Amino acid sequence: MDCSWNFKGKCCIVTGAASGIGKQISILLAQSGAKVVLVDIDAENLISATNACKEVANVAPLSIVADVSKQQDVMRMVESTVAHFEKIDFLVTGAGILYRTQFLDIELAEWDEVMNTNIRGLFLCNQLVVAQMLKQGEGRIVNIASVAGRSMSLIGGAHYATSKHAVIGLTRHMARELCQQGIRVNAFCPGATSTPMIHDNLSAEQITDLKPRIPLGRLAEADEQARVIAFMLSDAASYLNGACIDSNGGSVML
């Protein structure tokens, strides 16, 4: 992976770090000199992501198994990070789940599960991390939304699209409220990306049918998306606040 960012001395929490875009941005940050905190509910795949970060940085990152929808887990995440690294410079919220259930078939329990992870969990991570960033006087946050938050999704169900619209709304409000206190908040809206979420929910034939709908003619790779997030965290994006950066190969809607 080409590395052109210098995040030496910065501490970044990445949720959803065990796979997909979360794993790739963790690796890129570690390669760029950051002190990385990998957070995920998937303990087994978190070990693999941790080892990948250690391999590129020669320093083991802090790994935390946590369910972001649980306040106590998020509190433990923040407390462990501060105890280990004494600060939190960056937050990337990559934790999310997707179901393809048709609207009339969505049961309340499934609706709540999606909302608990995709928006309650993201809210908790943002709120508790921001409390620490305010003590420091600065911080940068990238909330991972989706092209579904810009319009709708042909991959996920209505609950997934709704949660991603909420991510964008929360991000924009936070950006306006917190920027005067040194904290910049932006949303990242990836299109279809070759990650376990896509491959677990679509057949090979469905993925093939999806590609012609993307002007570039292919799915994004997770490391391509990670590079956009790295830019958003970098000093090069110093005037970026409350923005929603699309990285979807030219797709207005999937």
Q: What is the pLDDT of residue 209?
A: 87
pTM: 0.95
Residues 96, 119: Cα–Cα separation, whole Å: 9
Q: Which residues of the chain are under the pLDDT cut of 70?
A: 1-3, 252-254
Q: Domains in the chain, ordered, with CATH? A: 11-238 (3.40.50.720)
Residues 20, 124: Cα–Cα separation, whole Å: 22
Q: What is the pLDDT of residue 254?
A: 43
Residues 89, 183: Cα–Cα separation, whole Å: 10
Q: What is the pLDDT of residue 212?
A: 87
Residue 152: CB atoms within 10 A of its CB come to 16
Per-residue pLDDT tens digits for 227-246: 999 999 999 999 999 999 99
What value does the mean pLDDT of the chain take? 94
Give catalytic residues, as residue numbers: 160
Q: What is the pLDDT of residue 3?
A: 55
Residues 87, 98: Cα–Cα separation, whole Å: 32
Rg (CA), the chain: 17
Backbone dihedral angles phi then psi of residue 185, each to the nearest 5 degrees: -130, 130
- HSE of 250, CA atoms in CB hemisphere, 13 A: 8
Tokens found for residue 86: 């004494």
Residues 252, 149: Cα–Cα separation, whole Å: 11
